[in-house]
Amino acid sequence: MFFHDKRLQYNAKPDKPAPMYAKMLQEVIGGQFGEMSVMMQYLFQGWNCRGPAKYRDMLLDIGTEEIAHVEMLSTMVARLLEGAPVEDQEQASQIPVIGAVMGGMNAQNVVMAGMNPQHQIVAGSGAMGVNSVGVPWNAGYIVASGNLLADFRANLNAESQGRLQVCRLYEMTDDAGVRDMLSFLIARDTMHQNQWLAAIADLEAEGLGMTPVPSTFPQEQEKSDVVYQFWNLSIGQESAQGRWANGPSIDGKGQFEYVAAPQPLGEAPELQPADPRLHGTAKTPMPAMTSPGPDTSQPAQQ
Amino acid sequence: MFFHDKRLQYNAKPDKPAPMYAKMLQEVIGGQFGEMSVMMQYLFQGWNCRGPAKYRDMLLDIGTEEIAHVEMLSTMVARLLEGAPVEDQEQASQIPVIGAVMGGMNAQNVVMAGMNPQHQIVAGSGAMGVNSVGVPWNAGYIVASGNLLADFRANLNAESQGRLQVCRLYEMTDDAGVRDMLSFLIARDTMHQNQWLAAIADLEAEGLGMTPVPSTFPQEQEKSDVVYQFWNLSIGQESAQGRWANGPSIDGKGQFEYVAAPQPLGEAPELQPADPRLHGTAKTPMPAMTSPGPDTSQPAQQ
Amino acid sequence: MFFHDKRLQYNAKPDKPAPMYAKMLQEVIGGQFGEMSVMMQYLFQGWNCRGPAKYRDMLLDIGTEEIAHVEMLSTMVARLLEGAPVEDQEQASQIPVIGAVMGGMNAQNVVMAGMNPQHQIVAGSGAMGVNSVGVPWNAGYIVASGNLLADFRANLNAESQGRLQVCRLYEMTDDAGVRDMLSFLIARDTMHQNQWLAAIADLEAEGLGMTPVPSTFPQEQEKSDVVYQFWNLSIGQESAQGRWANGPSIDGKGQFEYVAAPQPLGEAPELQPADPRLHGTAKTPMPAMTSPGPDTSQPAQQ
Amino acid sequence: MFFHDKRLQYNAKPDKPAPMYAKMLQEVIGGQFGEMSVMMQYLFQGWNCRGPAKYRDMLLDIGTEEIAHVEMLSTMVARLLEGAPVEDQEQASQIPVIGAVMGGMNAQNVVMAGMNPQHQIVAGSGAMGVNSVGVPWNAGYIVASGNLLADFRANLNAESQGRLQVCRLYEMTDDAGVRDMLSFLIARDTMHQNQWLAAIADLEAEGLGMTPVPSTFPQEQEKSDVVYQFWNLSIGQESAQGRWANGPSIDGKGQFEYVAAPQPLGEAPELQPADPRLHGTAKTPMPAMTSPGPDTSQPAQQ
Amino acid sequence: MFFHDKRLQYNAKPDKPAPMYAKMLQEVIGGQFGEMSVMMQYLFQGWNCRGPAKYRDMLLDIGTEEIAHVEMLSTMVARLLEGAPVEDQEQASQIPVIGAVMGGMNAQNVVMAGMNPQHQIVAGSGAMGVNSVGVPWNAGYIVASGNLLADFRANLNAESQGRLQVCRLYEMTDDAGVRDMLSFLIARDTMHQNQWLAAIADLEAEGLGMTPVPSTFPQEQEKSDVVYQFWNLSIGQESAQGRWANGPSIDGKGQFEYVAAPQPLGEAPELQPADPRLHGTAKTPMPAMTSPGPDTSQPAQQ
Amino acid sequence: MFFHDKRLQYNAKPDKPAPMYAKMLQEVIGGQFGEMSVMMQYLFQGWNCRGPAKYRDMLLDIGTEEIAHVEMLSTMVARLLEGAPVEDQEQASQIPVIGAVMGGMNAQNVVMAGMNPQHQIVAGSGAMGVNSVGVPWNAGYIVASGNLLADFRANLNAESQGRLQVCRLYEMTDDAGVRDMLSFLIARDTMHQNQWLAAIADLEAEGLGMTPVPSTFPQEQEKSDVVYQFWNLSIGQESAQGRWANGPSIDGKGQFEYVAAPQPLGEAPELQPADPRLHGTAKTPMPAMTSPGPDTSQPAQQ
């Protein structure tokens, strides 16, 4: 169960309104790597966790923190929208002939052109669960597989993409209040990258996971001859210079091999005709049936 | 530019049809971590790459390989669907009173109940760009940020989730032909996990990225006092046992600190009223306007 | 900011696993009116609230409670999936001729046919942020307009649809553990319907909203002659029997009027040709241009 | 079956083109509460209606009216787009060094920046089935449950959100032609709010529904001790001041109770391990299998 | 404006309920080529039509007819659901050990496994705006470009895919009532394929469009040397046998040419570094900045 | 299997950056008729093809070419973004009173207002798999039915819509480098329209398909009296002037008939009550049950 403290985890107060920037900031609320994603991702990973208690507890700690980040960002967006322009003035600058548009625009119009119009029409100056182009967040962004090593790698990625986006947003504004809040989120993302790297080390030390994920699948069932091959499928060999093409594999179980001119190992496939009742195109013409297609699925009919 | 060889990268031939399994196998074609995702992800990362040539080339090598994986899986699905039941027989088992349903079902009906009906109605016994519940793949799954360390972490995750799903699908069938193909994909995913770990090591060795991502953002701009704190927000302290709560941080720049009873650092926010022309709810009643809302956005009107 | 208590708000323990039922129960986690919807809806309404403090506080109280409902349902789904079948056995029941499928199925196959396959392949026996057919939850379900009367009506609807769905799910199972949890959720939804009706009464009593929403728009700007008319657009007049066609309007400001044979009030529209550079179809043939279309948008060219 | 009259239900002619406003107006065509939503919602409720004929008829009356509203708005959007700028002129204002952008922009560029580019590229100056940020309408917005009281509450909400959005759009323009059409839509939404309130009163008077929805579920099956409790889960007690925390419940069956310091009623859950064939993380390390996971699902194997 | 006649365009009454078939039939209501698509597609094409009146009128005629098709199919689905099973009985067939499931299932369970559970939980035995796997219809399926020749080709395709799907559904049932309704829809789709072919002939005869679409673009602006080339990009030359590789082009303006071994005409691209404030990966290491990135976008700073 | 050549199929180099135009150009990468759609559509049609080898080969030839088109467009977008503005300057132009915004904007702000902000925040100056309003591409756009005549009509439409959009984008820019690339794509689309018309002619000549699609369904099963009727459902008879209303049908099997005043052929439907356990609204009031609803689905209870 959850409890709410009305105080924000950290300040969320801009120096000035900036409705276009409010639109941009939505990316880290409702984008693929916004705070809604990590919030729901960590909570579902925690609720579904069948591993040791410390991981479950840690997941619910950080998932609970992320709800507070959505809260801070939503508060910031609501404040950035205070004083946003309401009235569209493009008409005032038009002369009534086809295609003729000129003069008369001012900064208010530019801001209106760059705003998310739903911030006014739909939300009445409030934050929304959408990204910076207005596409709603969806749960297809969540990663929660039940394999903690796989998922902690997902989390490391999420905090990397997330910190990258917040740093970019930091560069895109001069507002000291906005930057103050973002400096807090950037710091937390630094912690969280460290945290997932530590959690991965912890899992490996406890024998609960290793490369390749999942480590419990019997590797002798793999097609062993291609396990450490790099296939050069793009003409030219710059890719031969990388660590991935030379030396021992990272999992310590093989040697990387660079296959400079790989060839297909399979045949050119040819498919069988489909059931005639599906009316697809076969290799030879089929007469129009005189009644709905015969049921060829019954053994008795063969 | 691209060229196609009609031969498959590896065999894709089941011993027997299995339409329900065809539905399940769609997960690794059109799911969040299906081959369509890694194919498009690596291609976009390669096309957008502004880093050294070896990374760009490597990305396009593996992106090109993944197109072949979609091809193999699609061929397999088309073959698993050959001989699938077409006719719904539930009506034959019903007696004509409300709610009465009994007897008469056989294996064909069960298969039909478990199939993706679009495999017949929409695709005429062919593979589709959807996941195992029929939701279409979408480009919101793609990760391509322009920061290679961030993206290689995304790729490591994708290959981890992908291999996990393929291993699960391997366990879910006894068909030797299907397992043969999956053993190839599992092997390639082992390589690709190793490859991304190697690529990460390579980037770090070349000074092109390090923890925290992005490493070019000036860390003195972060809110320094919370950079290495673990906030215990879920009552109980099992999470204190982890590596993330003890010892030096993984980036080597600080010490993890466990904050057992964290408190909010911000204020309880209070928002200003919105523009009256948005007709939201304010703190006190507003009389119905006698005309559309005044334009309060013009300095002259204040 | 938020805190988590590891105890559930109420019990979430089934008597037995039931993977098909786990799929169905997802509707009230990630469906249009699942708990994710009300959780995010009430939180966003609270965070964006510019009205009196008691409404903001109440919204955050109930939003916080709903997180706990997602938690209970996710726990229940994870438990219903324990012991779910993993192996697809349809192949065992097939004979290797086209379309031939017969015999050999058992209850395990039926359960597998009826499960959400992502519960195994993607989540490894865990709950997901999806509805009962596997479509991911999306933020397009959220309603938060900044007008509290409008939004409390949305909330009343959400709790009505939600309780209806939970009651249906209650009827669909005999499992005493599942029913115990659902009886708690049903009770809370009863409270929450009462709560929103009370909140609506409260708003109206305080003068902060009334019918029609928004009540601050000047009604003299409405096209007054159609304000209380019921237009009978479906041939036949059964609809004349309703309260909506007779007597004073509910807002007390007019009389309902039944328009038995309504006629259009507007003209048949005719559109002007589009800019020729858009290459649409005009009323008369246009010759192929000999160069890209002229820029007709500049006053100088007219 | 349906018939079309070429005349519009009401005028839809702007005084002047305004392409940015055309983008905004799309919200009430293809947004969550646009006319496409109510049109499809009322039609599906009508077609699925198993209640008394007057409700079915009334639903189809209003559903048919809403098609005409989509028609009016689409016509208006098509006209607002006449004369929209086609050519992007940002390049003309750039000097060819990295990051250098300056001078030279005029109103046409601002309009182009603020338009929905699909209005030109995809629709060739026509209306689309999208909202004000270009996200396509989807049927996940529809509410049609088979329970009329639940659905009439949904409809009341839809007309409240819809009228609110149209009023905001009215404030956002000065164009007399646009305002004329909107004044008609606002009037109809006033009627429709009254209509759904009347329909709710009618249903209750006929004994076909009451609070809580659904009223046919046996209330003794609810967890009775929490039915009228308000749980204060957000620290601080402003929420104690509301009608929802004091006095008789609105359904007249209980007394509201304010629980100032609520405690969880359930246990801290602990999940069982998943089937090993799913390769999730268990509480203790599992050795890599030497063959695909054993089938533990067969009784014979235990 | 629109009017409704309560009679259906044609009969929609099954002999018996069949809930699984109801799920399948949803494909032609809410699928990519379901009746919702053609209904909205033809209406938007008509409303946006800037061409001769007969095309606009014809589009609105057929668009209006398609609303009636959605109505018929929705009625059929609602009737196929009457008597559908409500209670999940998988639990009754389970023995309480992990993974053990056996015996005891009957036809009712199979039907429940194969149904769309939302038909009960969400719609209470009613039709929905979704496809056969439960994915909601969305307006991204609509085609309406303003160029009638392009759009009539889209319509010809829509009626071809639609008739194909309805024919498949016809084959999938033995129910005489269902087949009666489908035989009407199949006949109308035959008409509509003929109608769009006739409309294309009409447009061409009137000089309003021809191949290639759009015919008003000056063809001398095309890269003329590749206009009629077939590029053989898949190793092997079976594709040389087709009409597309031999003889005059269909538009009569050129000769098809088969390029057996095509080569790229462009260069291998190399991208410039991005703005350092975006923190992407460049070709050489960048030191961590000591402050947020410099603004390099101002000419004065260069 | 696939191979990559690092050279582009054709040049993709703009004369100057133009970030707003980069946003617009995304339409033909990730829009409904963007190159991702035709790429995936042709590949899936080829992989699923059960018809003669020349069609399969041809589909994979063109599908492989389309990957190169995505590559060219992505490269172009990445280059158009070089030098895009990063910093939002709207705040600099604001004075700190509600609604007051004025002066101080320059071209950089206009460009920023018109850009897709994800191009900076998410992709770091790279192309994305989205359309011109930022909505991600999804596989619901793909058409691949297994019936080649149906699918070639889909392809003809795709190339018509695609060429139309590219021509519009050509008109929207003056940049010689962009126009050079587009002139190549327009030429290829001319070829591809010719190609699909040729492929349709080829299919018909070989007897593999004819109008109506599918031609293998027995036409005597159609409701013959409505097969060639045009129903005039929109008041007024402009539609009587078209080829579709006069003369022999295009398939040569009938005569078009104009039905000037069509009447419904079906009855006004009335639905049966739903199972009481679904708690819908019936024709007469139902008492609240005293226990969960009876199971009326068992034969024994009848």
- What is the pLDDT, as a whole number, of residue D97? 34
* Average pLDDT of the residues in B255-282: 96
The pLDDT confidence band at residue A102, using thresholds 50, 70 and 90, is: very low
> In angstroms, rounded to a whole number, what is the distance separating the alpha carbons of residues A253 and A227?
10
Report CA F256 to chain centroid distance, whole Å: 30
Question: pLDDT exceeding 90 applies to what percent of chain F?
Answer: 85
**Sign of dihedral through CA atoms E119, E123, E126, E132?**
negative
Note the pTM of the prediction, 2 decimals.
0.95
pLDDT of the residue at D287: 73
Angle at B11 between CA B10 and CA B12, to 5 degrees: 120
Going by DSSP bridges, is the β-strand pair D2-4/E2-4 parallel, antiparallel, or unpaired?
antiparallel
The Cα B299–Cα E285 span in angstroms is 49
Q: How many CA atoms lie within 13 A of D29 on its CB side?
A: 29
Q: Alpha helix locations (H) across chain F? A: 19-25, 27-30, 35-47, 53-80, 107-114, 118-121, 148-171, 176-205
- Which tens digits make up the pLDDT trace of B200-245? 999 999 999 999 999 999 999 999 999 999 999 999 999 999 999 9
Confidence band for D45, pLDDT divided at 50, 70 and 90: very high
C243: exposed, middle or buried (C-beta count within 10 Å: 0-12, 13-18, 19+)? buried
Residues 6+ apart with CB under 8 A from D225: none
pLDDT the model gives residue B87: 87
Q: Residue B83 — very low, low, confident or very high, per pLDDT cuts 50/70/90?
A: confident
- Tell me which chain D residues have a C-beta less than 8 angstroms from the C-beta of F271: 48-50
Are A83 and B10 in contact (CB < 8 Å)?
no
pLDDT value at F210 more than 90: yes
The phi-psi region of residue A254 (left if phi > 0; otherwise alpha if psi is between -120 and 50; otherwise beta) is: beta
Closest residue in E to C169 (Cα) is E121
Which residue among E108, E198, E236 places its CB closest to the CB of F242? E198
C279:F170 CB<8 A: no
At residue E148, the pLDDT reads 98
F280-292 CB burial, b ≥16 within 10 A, e <16: bbbbeebeebeeb
Q: At what angle do helices C176-205 and C53-80 cross, to 10 degrees?
A: 170
Tell me which residue in C61, C195, C274 faces D125 most closely, judged by beta carbons: C274
DSSP, collapsed to helix, strand or coil, labels residue B113 as helix
Per-residue tokens: D84: 């929209």
Residue pair C178/E88 in contact by the 8 Å Cβ criterion:
no
The mean pLDDT of D253-267, rounded to a whole number, is 97
- Asked whether the beta carbons of residue D61 and residue E4 sit closer than 8 angstroms, the reply is yes
pLDDT confidence band for A77 (50 / 70 / 90): very high
Q: What pLDDT sits at residue B117? A: 98
Give the model's pLDDT for residue D249. 97
The yes-or-no verdict on residue E301 having pLDDT over 70 is no
Closest CA to D184 of D28, D80, D20, D51: D28
Which tens digit of pLDDT belongs to each residue from E270-293?
999 999 999 999 999 977 666 666
Beta carbons of C107 and E105 less than 8 Å apart: yes
Angle, helix C53-80 to helix C35-47, in steps of 10 degrees: 160
pLDDT digits (tens, 9 = 90+) for E204-221: 999 999 999 999 999 999
Q: Could you tell me if F141 and A276 are in contact, meaning their C-beta atoms sit under 8 angstroms apart?
A: no
For A180, list phi and psi in degrees, rounded to 5: -60, -50
* Cα dihedral F75→F79→F85→F87 (10° resolution): 50
Residues A250-262: tens digit of each pLDDT: 999 999 999 999 9
Region C97-112 average pLDDT:
57
Segment D101-154, tens digit of pLDDT? 334 456 788 889 999 999 999 999 999 999 999 999 999 999 999 999 999 999
Contact C193 D241 (CB under 8 A): no
Residues of F in contact with C172 (CB under 8 A): 277
Whole-angstrom CA distances from B96 to A81, E111, E172 are 61, 15, 20
Dihedral in degrees, nearest 10, Cα atoms A70, A75, A76, A81: 130
Does the N-terminal peptide bond of residue C218 adopt cis geometry, omega within 30 degrees of 0?
no
Which amino acid is present at A60? L
- pLDDT > 90? residue B294: no
Compute the Cα dihedral for E103, E107, E109, E115 and give only its sign: positive
Measured between beta carbons, the chain C residues lying within 8 angstroms of F293 are: 171
In whole angstroms, what is the distance from residue B62 CA to residue B39 CA? 8
- The residue among B277, B227, B44, B251 whose CA lies nearest residue B146 is B44
Q: Which residues of E touch A164 (CB under 8 A)?
A: 279
What does the pLDDT read at residue E107? 75
pLDDT at residue F298 above 50? Answer: no
Mean pLDDT of chain C: 91
The yes-or-no verdict on residue F169 having pLDDT over 90 is yes
Position B107 confidence tier, pLDDT thresholds 50, 70, 90: confident
Q: Mean pLDDT score of chain F, rounded to an integer?
A: 91
Among chain D residues, CA nearest to A220: D290
Return the structure tokens found at B166. 């393929």
E168 with A292: Cβ contact below 8 A: no
Coil, helix or strand for C130?
A: strand
Q: In percent, how much of chain E has pLDDT > 90?
A: 85
Subunits with 3+ C-beta pairs closer than 8 A to D? A, B, C, E, F
Burial readout D46-75 (b: 16 or more C-beta within 10 A, e: otherwise)? bbbbbbbbbbbbbbbbbbbbbbbbbbbbbb
Chain segment F255-272, per-residue pLDDT in tens: 999 999 999 999 999 999
Nearest to E99 among D1, D47, D275 (CB): D275
**Distance from C-alpha of B86 to C-alpha of A280, rounded to nearest angstrom:** 13
Mark yes or no for CB contact E87/C171 under 8 Å.
yes
| Phi-psi sector, A102: left (phi>0), alpha (psi -120 to 50), beta | beta
pLDDT digits (tens, 9 = 90+) for E142-201: 999 999 999 999 999 999 999 999 999 999 999 999 999 999 999 999 999 999 999 999
**For residue B288, how many other CB atoms are within 10 A of its CB?**
14
Q: Please give the torsion angle defined by the CA atoms of residues F177, F183, F184 and F186, in that order, rounded to the nearest 10 degrees.
A: 140
The shortest C-alpha distance from E279 to chain A (Å) reads 7
Q: Rounded to a whole number, what is the distance in Å from the CA of A133 to chain F's nearest CA?
A: 6
CB within 8 Å: D186 and C222: yes
Contact D168 B278 (CB under 8 A): yes
Contacts of E292 in chain A (CB under 8 A): 170-171
User: How many Cα atoms within 13 Å fall on the side-chain side of residue D272?
Assistant: 19
Question: How many Cβ pairs within 8 Å bridge chains B and F?
Answer: 185
Size of interface A-D (CB pairs under 8 A): 181
ipTM of the complex: 0.93
Whether the predicted pLDDT of C265 surpasses 80: yes
Token pair of D103, please? Answer: 């001078």
Lowest mean pLDDT among A96-105, C148-157, F76-85, F243-252: A96-105
How near does any CA of chain F get to the CA of B55, in Å? 13
Q: Where residue C88 falls among pLDDT bands split at 50, 70, 90?
A: confident
Q: Is the pLDDT of residue D46 over 90?
A: yes
| CA atoms within 13 Å, Cβ hemisphere of A183 | 20
Q: What is the pLDDT of residue E91?
A: 72
CB E196 within 8 A of CB E156: yes
State the pLDDT at residue C93. Answer: 57
F290: confidence class by pLDDT, cuts 50, 70, 90: low
Q: What is d(CA C243, CA D196) in angstroms, rounded to the nearest whole number?
A: 10
pLDDT at A100 over 50: no
Give the max Cα distance, chain C: 81
pLDDT tens digits, residue range F75-129? 999 999 998 888 887 876 554 333 333 344 567 888 899 999 999 999 999 999 9
Residue A162 with chain F: CB contacts under 8 Å? none
B80 vs E191: CA distance, rounded Å: 36
Query: CA–CA separation, C157 vs D157, rounded Å?
Result: 7
Average pLDDT, chain B: 91
Which of A82, A110, A278 faces F113 most closely, judged by CB atoms?
A110
Tell me if E159 sits within 8 A of F214, measured CB to CB.
no
What is the per-residue pLDDT across E222-267, written as a single tens digit (0 to 9) for each?
Answer: 999 999 999 999 999 999 999 999 999 999 999 999 999 999 999 9
Rounded CA-CA distance E26/E118 in Å is 12
The confidence score (pLDDT) of residue F227 equals 97
Q: Are B157 and B127 in contact (CB under 8 A)?
A: no
> Do the Cβ atoms of A145 and D287 come within 8 Å?
no
Mean pLDDT on E132-141:
98
Counting every residue written for chain B, the total comes to: 302
Choosing among A110, A135, A161, A185, which should be mutated to test the F contact, i.e. which has the most F CBs within 10 A?
A110
Which residue numbers of E have CB closer than 8 Å to A's CBs?
Answer: 164, 167-168, 170-172, 277-279, 292-293
pLDDT in the model for residue E83 = 86
Chain B neighbors of E279, CB-CB under 8 A: 147, 214, 216-217
Q: How far apart are the C-alpha atoms of F142 and B128, rounded to whole Å?
A: 9
Assess contact for D216 and C178: CB atoms under 8 A.
no
Does the beta-carbon distance from E120 to F278 stay under 8 Å? yes
Of A165, A197, A232, the CB nearest to B211: A197
* CA-based nearest residue in chain A for residue F145: A280
Mutate to test the interface with E, among B49, B56, B60, B91 (most CBs of E within 10 A): B91
Please identify which residue in the block is written with the tokens 């900044």.
C146
Which amino acid, E270?
E
Is residue C259 scored above 50 in pLDDT?
Answer: yes
pLDDT of residue D290: 65
Question: What 3-state DSSP class applies to F150?
Answer: helix
Is the pLDDT score of B279 beyond 50? yes
Q: Could you tell me how far CA A260 lies from the centroid of its own chain? A: 33
Alpha carbon separation from E247 to B202, D17, E257, E258, F57 (Å, rounded):
54, 49, 8, 10, 19
Minimal Cβ distance to F292: which of C170, C278, C279: C170
Chains touching B (3+ CB pairs < 8 Å): A, C, D, E, F
Question: CA-to-CA distance for C227 and C219, rounded, in angstroms?
Answer: 10
Residue-level pLDDT at A294: 62
Summary mean pLDDT of chain D: 91
Type and span of the H or E element at F259: strand F257-259
**One-letter identity of residue E263:** Q
